[in-house]
């Protein structure tokens, strides 16, 4: 009987296999293969050679690709692309923020695996955790919880206080690599600080590194419904100033989350594909600060009873907004708006720097019968769940069932009248010039009498800074306008807010909300109108001086300026780019005089070929996020 084979050496052919599996940018020293694709290895035997027909070698391999995308351009964008854009600003001024995902940079794969090992699930039951790592549903929930630090030593501390003296202002970050490496180098202690776009960007890096197709999504006018009734309540005083919300409901100027592509065998057929994951710590899910995966198709169809966290995501894109006037200790309903939440839902286009609007993936067209039917369907499912929850609570502990909210949305067929329809007066703000940082803000209030009667209006105007999560800061400008309108007449009331008036009150988000609360002496109805202004900076200009070739020196010119009419101090320029710089570059610029324009030349040696991107940010004691980017194609060395 022939002697059995003894394996002396196994050649995993790491370099060749990794190239075929598009993982060579991560490593060529260790085998790193992707699901659903063949790879080669060679076995060397110690005692004798392999004899076909006599010897049998059996490999047992179990593979299932639950995250397979059949489109090669989509795979290139959502797995392989290591840079992109995160959309910020407001629905009236959408701006791309360049970001270095850097999922193939040195040590990132090791950091991502360490992140999984630091999760509460692994710490509690490592065997079960590892057994479940083949499930993208499970892994995505673990990563969503680990990106924030609310329950564990996750990657990022969230901070919305405007006080970042003991860390980094979230607006200053330009990439995930520096964040993940800082977390790893500090013994897996949370990095200070992040907000929604930073959480989403870092999660995108981790998920793409793990081979799960992922993209970053921005939702403008994003609802945060804390009590699950699909109503966002906003409160105003008689000057039109928005008040801090006692219910903690808010409309975020924009909110950023992720979509990951995966099969959902835990759901009915048809609900696989893109799933919402939100690593920003807003509400708990099964006792942990994470959110998702929630099927995008389930959100559009109002199937809010499907896992995970679908009701919360539904409210972010399709809640109604109720405006209230608070006066003399009483609350007066101003208007219920069914279309103000969830606008211009955006992501980067495939293999392009353009923006894709994917709002139709999340909901039917606002104002359509189908959209209202889905809203009512979701509301009824939530009420039924609250009723059953209260009944279960009653079975466990005798008490009165929790009363259901009597708030009801407007009916499908009969929209409610707006106050402006009752008074027959329309108010609207219009900017006269682009709102540039450092300059006065000039705008007008347009008043239109839609009736055949004279109208005497008193309008209270105010302006206040906002954080991007909707939190209001103190008002810094107020005015009162008295406007008399003849039948069908239109008038404009000019307004100006000087730089000296708003500069010291501005938040990092550079958002100003102007409001007008109008009343007509012959009617008890009040008309509320507001507009959010996003102040803009001039971008950093980046020029590549010469051809970019792997392993050859490359000069890069960065042109920047102080846009303000005052001196700024503590200026720091940050530059990075995967495949172009080994690590993030920080250049101390010191003091910049008013309106001063300058440039510097940086030298680097590209070490990866293909399409690359340079990201830059400049901060000072007066501003934190003047940004710029430049795409660069790096050729192979001859």
Whether the CB-CB separation of 462 and 477 falls below 8 Å is answered with yes
> Would you please indicate which residues are annotated as catalytic (active-site) residues?
196, 255, 278
Question: What CA–CA distance (Å, rounded) separates 248 from 235?
Answer: 11
> What 3-state class would DSSP assign to 268?
coil
* 283 marked as part of a ligand binding site: no
Fill in the DSSP letter of residue 583.
S
- Nearest in space to 200 (alpha carbons), one of 292, 113, 300, 73: 292
Whether the CB-CB separation of 425 and 455 falls below 8 Å is answered with yes
Fill in the DSSP letter of residue 185.
H
| Torsion sign over Cα 199, 167, 616, 506 | positive
∠ CA 546-606-180 to the nearest 5 degrees? 135
Instruction: Residue 520: count other Cβ atoms within 10 Å of its Cβ.
Output: 24
Whether the CB-CB separation of 219 and 316 falls below 8 Å is answered with yes
Question: What CA–CA distance (Å, rounded) separates 290 from 284?
Answer: 6
* 385 marked as part of a ligand binding site: no
* 318 marked as part of a ligand binding site: yes
* 371 marked as part of a ligand binding site: yes
> What 3-state class would DSSP assign to 363?
coil
Helix locations, 305-451, DSSP H:
310-318, 359-362, 369-396, 419-423
The two tokens of residue 538 are 């001039």
Question: What CA–CA distance (Å, rounded) separates 166 from 147?
Answer: 20
Residues within the annotated binding site for Ca(2+)?
318, 320, 366, 371
Residues within the annotated binding site?
318, 320, 366, 371
């Amino acid at each position: 009987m022939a002697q059995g084979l003894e394996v002396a050496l196994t050649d995993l052919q790491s370099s060749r296999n990794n190239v075929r599996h598009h993982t060579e940018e991560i490593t060529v020293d260790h085998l790193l293969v992707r699901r659903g694709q063949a790879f080669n290895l060679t076995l060397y035997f110690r005692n004798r050679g392999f004899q076909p027909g006599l010897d049998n070698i059996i490999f047992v391999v179990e593979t299932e690709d639950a995250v397979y995308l059949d489109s090669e351009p989509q795979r290139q964008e959502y797995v392989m692309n290591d840079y992109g854009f995160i959309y910020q600003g407001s629905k009236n001024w959408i701006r791309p923020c360049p970001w270095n995902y850097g999922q193939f940079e040195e040590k990132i794969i090791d950091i991502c695996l360490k992140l999984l090992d630091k999760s509460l699930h692994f710490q509690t039951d490592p065997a079960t955790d590892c057994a479940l790592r083949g499930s993208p549903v499970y892994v995505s929930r673990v990563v969503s919880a680990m990106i924030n630090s609310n329950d564990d030593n996750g990657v990022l501390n969230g901070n919305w206080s405007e006080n970042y003296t003991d860390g980094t202002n979230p607006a200053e970050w330009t990439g995930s690599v520096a964040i993940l490496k800082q977390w790893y180098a500090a013994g897996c202690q949370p990095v200070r600080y992040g907000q929604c776009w930073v959480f989403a960007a870092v999660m995108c890096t981790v998920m793409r590194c793990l081979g799960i197709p992922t993209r970053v999504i921005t939702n403008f006018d994003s609802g945060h419904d804390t009590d699950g009734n699909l109503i966002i309540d906003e409160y105003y005083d008689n000057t039109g100033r928005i008040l801090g919300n006692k219910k903690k409901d808010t409309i975020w100027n924009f909110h950023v989350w992720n979509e990951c592509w995966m099969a959902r065998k835990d759901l009915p057929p048809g609900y696989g594909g893109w799933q919402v994951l939100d690593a920003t710590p807003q509400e708990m899910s099964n006792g942990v600060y994470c959110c998702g995966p929630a099927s995008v198709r389930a959100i559009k169809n109002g199937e809010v009873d499907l896992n995970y966290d679908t009701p919360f995501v539904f409210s972010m894109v399709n809640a109604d907004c109720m405006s209230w006037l608070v006066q003399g200790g009483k609350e007066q309903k101003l208007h219920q708006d069914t279309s103000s939440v969830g606008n211009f839902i955006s992501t980067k286009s495939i293999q392009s720097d353009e923006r894709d609007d994917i709002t139709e993936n999340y909901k039917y067209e606002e104002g359509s019968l189908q959209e209202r039917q889905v809203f009512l369907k979701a509301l009824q499912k939530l009420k039924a769940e609250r009723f059953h929850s209260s009944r279960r609570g009653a079975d466990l502990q005798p008490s009165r069932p929790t009363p259901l909210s009597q708030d009801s949305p407007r009916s499908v067929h009969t929209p409610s009248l707006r106050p402006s329809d009752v008074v027959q007066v329309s108010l609207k703000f219009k900017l006269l010039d682009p709102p540039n940082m450092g300059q006065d803000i000039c705008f007008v209030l347009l008043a239109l009498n839609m009736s055949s009667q004279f109208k005497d209006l008193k309008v209270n105007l105010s302006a206040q800074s906002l954080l991007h999560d909707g939190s209001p800061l103190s008002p810094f400008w107020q005015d009162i306008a008295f406007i008399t309108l003849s039948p069908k007449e239109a008038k404009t009331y000019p307004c100006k807010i000087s730089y000296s008036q708003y500069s010291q009150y501005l938040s990092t988000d550079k958002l100003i909300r102007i409001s007008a609360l109008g009343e007509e002496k012959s009617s008890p109805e009040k008309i509320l109108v507001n507009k959010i202004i996003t102040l803009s900076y001039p971008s950093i200009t980046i020029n590549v001086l010469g051809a970019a070739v792997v392993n050859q020196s490359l000069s890069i010119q960065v042109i920047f300026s102080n846009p303000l009419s005052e001196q700024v101090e503590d200026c720091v320029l940050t530059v990075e780019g995967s495949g172009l710089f080994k690590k993030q570059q920080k250049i101390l610029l010191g003091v910049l005089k008013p309106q001063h324009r300058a440039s510097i030349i940086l030298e680097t040696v590209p070490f990866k070929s293909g399409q690359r991107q340079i990201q830059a940010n400049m901060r000072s004691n007066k501003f934190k996020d003047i940004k710029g980017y430049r795409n660069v194609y790096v050729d192979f060395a001859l």
